[in-house]
Structure 1
């Protein structure tokens, strides 16, 4: 224990090499939530963490080697502390995946996770330096829907509320000797308010855009998500709308404004991909029905009918033209 606020410290070098990674895994599970960890450095893992206890809120400056954090549905069912985790990346790079959503974070970025949602975090080789914050959901003065919209966003420390929060965390991480134990709950309240301000600011930035710009951005995001998931035969307008946090009706209106339907856009993009693969000599040995299935057409007859309607010839004839047969 160090300082006047309650603080504990973990140093991997204080343990035998064979025990270090297991000890770090247990520490991470108790600090945030039960999770599975993997590392290419597991045989001789090095890490350092200070845990600053503010009562309901915990802050943990940490430095560690390459890691993969996995919070799976099974682990969530087993135990969910109902907390939000906000991390300020101070050095290094990391990627985060929430199922079909992904983002990449660099020094100066915050990223937000929810202990009730599955996620995977992977850091790049080398050392990572960060400051993590654990806040009970009940303590954050924001509607859950607003916080949900902030998960997966780039939240940076360069201006506005993000700069204030980064300064607060950096100062606290630098040393706690100037604080009394009675300051802990007050600091926790200030920290929760700052985190709420950062998240609300990020969400409101999007809402503050002119309606025309916001509509165009949503349409582009919808099309990008569709293109990233064309190989999934279960891709539906409902999935797209859920990803964008809008209703299916609003999604259909976005596409109608551009003179097409969601289904037509998906079908056209899939046919374009299949059309390209069928003409590619690299795929000459792949059966037509396999290419069709790869592009979201599980039934060969449906694919042939749609392909003929779009290109005026069956897929086998198009392939013949492309290969010169």
Structure 2
């Protein structure tokens, strides 16, 4: 079988388990800081498989906040790229002003030379991690380290190949010989390099401001397409874009409205257009309201009056008696 080391938090006394786990991760990846809601009796286990220059490590652990700080980087930097496949659980990663939500079947990427923070969810998390020295994984010429993808869905394409490789090797480690390790490590490095090269062609190469603006535009387009859904909220929008809700709100700080206000404004604009459309005069107001995300007529009437100073029925009547030129202007 492959050369393998197994680490369990319950190998040490209860009070030492979180510190022990932080030390193990520091030796596998790079020195980190950790805290946990379960610090009094932290539970975790890890297998570290030797793939030559590369190491593969499946791990399961309780809720954690893991930080790689500028101070730790100055003290020690092994110059590694880290790739994790999320198998179970969720997490939020933060780098500078960028934040990403991770779910099962997502690939997560880190660079030991860059500060980051990972906050996992309340439920235990299971991941399969790859550690790759930068020397064995040269980046494409036009790609700098800060342009690495932070999250890649692993259901299709090269990402799916890489995730399947990680799962298969970790599951069948006993069927390989120790001398297979370096060969498997080279395969892993080639798959990661191919995935990074693919990322060069996407928007990850945009400057941070342009990338942020592109993300905001994508979110607004998503909102516009789902205005009919009464369940459309900042929480569901953030989840659909693999963001935390707090980061979604930060994205809209430079916009002319909050996320909720932007949704309400677009819905009311759509309803107002239909109320003023002569071809839709026979459609009941409550039906127009419902198809613009207002299932309760009373909520729609209140919101419409606040925005336009008239009840929906009064607005429709006013537009019905207006001249054609005024309706066109409106």
Query: Given the two structures, how large is their TM-score scaled by the length of structure 1?
Result: 0.63
Q: 2:193 aligns with which of 196, 211, 230?
A: 196
Contact in 2 for aligned 1:109/1:154 (Cα 8 Å):
yes
1:119 aligns with 2:116: yes
Contact in 2 for aligned 1:55/1:188 (Cα 8 Å):
yes
Residue 206 to residue 174, structure 1, CA distance change in 2 (3 Å): same
The 5-angstrom pairing of residues 94-173 of structure 1 reads: 94-143=91-140, 145-146=142-143, 148=145, 150-173=147-170
Distance 2:211 2:79 in 1: 33
Query: Secondary structure at the residue paired with 1:117?
Result: coil
Any unmatched runs of 5+ in structure 2? 218-252, 262-330
Contact in 1 for aligned 2:109/2:151 (Cα 8 Å):
no
Query: Secondary structure at the residue paired with 1:190?
Result: helix
Per-residue deviation, residues 1-50 of structure 1 (Å, max 9, x unmatched): xxx21101012223221121111010011110011011111110000100
Residue 19 to residue 198, structure 1, CA distance change in 2 (3 Å): same
Residue 167 to residue 124, structure 1, CA distance change in 2 (3 Å): same
Residue 130 to residue 207, structure 1, CA distance change in 2 (3 Å): closer
The 5-angstrom pairing of residues 240-255 of structure 1 reads: none
Q: 1:13 aligns with which of 2, 10, 13?
A: 10
Distance 2:254 2:43 in 1: 47
Residue 207 to residue 102, structure 1, CA distance change in 2 (3 Å): closer
Any unmatched runs of 5+ in structure 1? 209-213, 226-267, 277-325
Residue 144 to residue 133, structure 1, CA distance change in 2 (3 Å): farther
Distance 1:144 1:86 in 2: 20
Match of 1:67 in 2: 64
Residue 145 to residue 87, structure 1, CA distance change in 2 (3 Å): farther
Residue 87 to residue 220, structure 1, CA distance change in 2 (3 Å): closer
Q: Report the number of matched residues.
A: 223
Contact in 2 for aligned 1:112/1:150 (Cα 8 Å):
no
Q: CA deviation at 1:119?
A: 0.4
Q: CA deviation at 1:173?
A: 1.0
Q: 1:80 aligns with which of 77, 80, 84?
A: 77
Per-residue deviation, residues 289-314 of structure 1 (Å, max 9, x unmatched): xxxxxxxxxxxxxxxxxxxxxxxxxx
Per-residue deviation, residues 214-256 of structure 1 (Å, max 9, x unmatched): 99x947626849xxxxxxxxxxxxxxxxxxxxxxxxxxxxxxx
Contact in 2 for aligned 1:141/1:193 (Cα 8 Å):
no
1:53 aligns with 2:50: yes
Contact in 1 for aligned 2:142/2:200 (Cα 8 Å):
no
Task: Let me know the Cα RMSD of the aligned residues.
Answer: 2.9
Query: Secondary structure at the residue paired with 1:19?
Result: helix
Residue 159 to residue 219, structure 1, CA distance change in 2 (3 Å): closer
Quick check: which has more Rg, 1 or 2?
2
Distance 2:212 2:40 in 1: 45
Q: CA deviation at 1:76?
A: 0.3
